[in-house]
Every structure is written in C-alpha cells, then in structure tokens.
Amino acid sequence: MKSTRVLVLSFVAVAHGAFSAPPTLEEVRKEMAIPSAGDVRGQLDGVGFATTAEQMKKVFALSAAPPAPERLGEVPPPGVAGAICPHDDYLYAGRVYRGVLPLLTARTVVIVGVFHRFRKFDAKDVLVFDTYRAWRAPDGEVPVSPLREDVLAFLPKGDAVADAAMHDSEHSVEALVYWLKHLRKDVEILPVIVPSMGWARLSELGERLGAAIAASAKARGLVLGRDLAVVVSADAIHYGPDFRHVPFGDGGIDAYAKATARDVSMLRALGGPLEAEKARAFHETCVNPESPADYRVTWCGRYSIPLGLVTLSRLGRDLGVSLEARPLAYATSVGAPELPVRGDGLGETAPANLYHFVGYPSLAIVRSVPE
C-alpha cells in the first residue's frame, strides 16, 4: 500500500502534472530505513516489512494461520514458472504472500516490479534495472543474478537503464525478495521495475525482455520452473478519496463489495493460456491509452502485470514451453484480521478501512497440460 507517502503521491500526481527535478541518490537514501551502501542495496521500508531474521520467521509462521484469502482456483504443485504476488505491508497481505511465493522453487527469480514514483524520476517507456551486486534481506544478502548482464547486453540501446536511485526509491521488489530469501537461502534475483508506457511500447519491451531471458537461460542451461521463474509484483485496487478513485462512492460496504468484485473479475480474466490480447485488455482497463501515465483503475500493477505476462509468454515460446495462468486467491487490507506482529516491531505504512483499502491478487503461471 505505502499510500500515505508514496502511493497517494503517485496516483494524485496524475492530476497535477510533472514534478520538479528527479531526486538525487543521496536524497533517496535519506528516505531508506537501511540505506544502500557500496554494492549492496539496502532497505526502503522498515515498518511494513521485516528487517530482522526473527521478524521474518514470525511473519512466515503467522501467515499460515486462518483465515485464508478467498480462493479462486486450485493451487498447483511447487515449481511454477511464474506468479503474481502483492507487495503491501506484511501484516495486511502476509497470508497472500504465503499462498503463492512458496510455489516458486527456482534458484533464479526475475522480479518484475512496480515503479510507483516514475513521475518523480520522469521515467517512461523503458525497463529499469538496478546496479547492485546484492540486496540486503533479513536473512542475509541476496545476490543479483548474472542474467542481468546477459539481458542488458541483449536488449537494444534505449530499452533499458540501470539506476540505483530509482531502485532505492521503490519498495515493490524488496517486499518479495525477503520472502524468497526466507524460502530458499541460495536464491538469486534479477530485479526490474516498470514505469509508465502505452500498450505498443509495453508489448515490444515485454517481447524483448522475454527473448533476452530465454537466450540467457539457453546459454546457461536453465529450465523454466526448475531453475528459473518470473514473479510479478502488483497490488490491486487502491480505493478511496485519498487515491482519488471512488467510482462506487467514497467508501463503505457497498463500494467495497463492488470494487472487490471488479478486482476478482479482472484477475479471473487473466486465467487460461497466456495471450497478448488478455494482457492488452488488462492494460487498457487500467490505463488511459491516450495518456498512458494516467490511470483508469488504480491497480498499481497496471504496467508490471501486462509486461510480466508478455515476458513470460515470449519466454515460454522461445523455450518451447506452453504456459497458462491460474488465478489463486484474492484478499484486501480490510478483509481479514491483520497478522499480530506489531509487538515484534512491524506496523502499517497506511490505514486500512472501508474508505481506504487495497486489494491483493495472486496468480500462478504453470506449464499447460495437454488435452
């Protein structure tokens, strides 16, 4: 969610035009709970996410407790090729993380994240990679995969930038990194965040990113699902006056029911064989095609989800693997009791009520079963 400081800024900025000069690396690091240093990326959010191994252990254990999120389909066995997972505060979204991330058992994980502050950095139409050797996590450092250099060498000039300040300003990747490290100690990551872009450019970049990852996987002998996976970081609806998104009224039970029903419908529509048309339809539901930086529906994954799905589709084709999407579960910041971790030093970065709530989608990408 991160709404009070980051997400409200990112959504409301749409109505107020561009910001001033992009923040410097030094300015960004002053906002970090644990600033990056040298070749190790630090931690931006030290409130909503675990900072210590003991906190992470507690979150992981408590997240298995009921009530479970609303189930949308059968849970596949571990070893999936990809997934969609939320990135909100652990005390709100922990049960959804727990339901999807253990399905990713590959050592190398590409994380396609949201770039909430793309306007602040005047970023658009480009894939944003990091510059670090490793990322700090509660359970120890997580190395960045050598696939990053392969991918950057493969992509045409102008398709990608590598920028530490942009990644230091973003929480959507680190949220998942800490779970992946807790689940597999030798995990390595390839982080990329996605700013504003229209469908044509998004489709082009997704195809190229998928082709680049496939080329590297072939050269390194990586098998999709077993050795390599792609996870998309994305929260669903951000509803309420703070987000300037109130199509069903300012809030309350009726608005909540209608907004979450729309969310579930959008998530279900992504199910089945990976097809560009589904990704395009999702993008056009969420994004104004005449002005791609402007939203129609406040899913913060409005760019990361369609780009991730196009990437996975191309990756599967190039590796000779047919893939399909299976919606798994849906929850919200107010739909279940929060995890009891406040006494352990964790908290919330924004309120959760019927006038300010966020949706949490989860989905798995699996190999298609021949009919």
pLDDT at 19: 52
Burial class (CB in 10 A: 0-12, 13-18, 19+), 153: exposed
Residue type, position 228, single letter: L
Mark out the alpha helices in the chain (DSSP H runs): 8-16, 25-30, 53-62, 90-100, 147-154, 164-168, 174-183, 199-220, 253-268, 276-286, 304-318
Enclosing H/E stretch for 239: strand 238-239
Residue 116 DSSP SS3? coil
pLDDT at 17: 46
pTM of the full predicted structure?
Answer: 0.95
Rg of the chain over all Cα atoms, to the nearest angstrom: 19
Residue 275, both tokens = 């097809």
Cα–Cα distance between 132 and 162 in angstroms, integer? 9
Residue 201 DSSP SS3? helix
Residue ranges in the chain modelled with pLDDT below 50: 3-9, 11-18
CATH class of 3-367: alpha beta
pLDDT at 371: 52
Residue 56 DSSP SS3? helix
pLDDT tens by residue, 325-348: 999 999 999 999 999 999 999 999
pLDDT at 152: 98
Other beta carbons less than 10 A from residue 51's beta carbon: 19
Are 229 and 213 spatial neighbours (Cβ–Cβ below 8 Å)? no
User: Residue 86 has what DSSP assignment?
Assistant: -
Phi-psi region of 22 (alpha: psi -120 to 50; beta: other; left: phi over 0): beta
Cα–Cα distance between 333 and 304 in angstroms, integer? 21
Mention every residue, 6+ apart, whose C-beta is less than 8 A from residue 145.
108, 188, 189, 190
Q: For the chain, give the mean pLDDT.
A: 95
User: Residue 130 has what DSSP assignment?
Assistant: -
pLDDT at 2: 56
Cα–Cα distance between 362 and 329 in angstroms, integer? 5
Q: Of 5, 11, 61, 83, which is closest to residue 293 (Cα–Cα)?
A: 11
Mention every residue, 6+ apart, whose C-beta is less than 8 A from residue 149.
none
Are 104 and 364 spatial neighbours (Cβ–Cβ below 8 Å)? no
pLDDT at 20: 76
* Peptide bond between residue 67 and the one before it cis (omega within 30 degrees of 0): yes
HSE toward the beta carbon, residue 84, CA cutoff 13 A: 33
Any idea where the domains of the chain sit in the sequence? Answer: 3-367
pLDDT at 14: 45
pLDDT tens by residue, 142-194: 999 999 999 999 999 999 999 999 999 999 999 999 999 999 999 999 999 99
| E strand map for 313-356 | 323-332
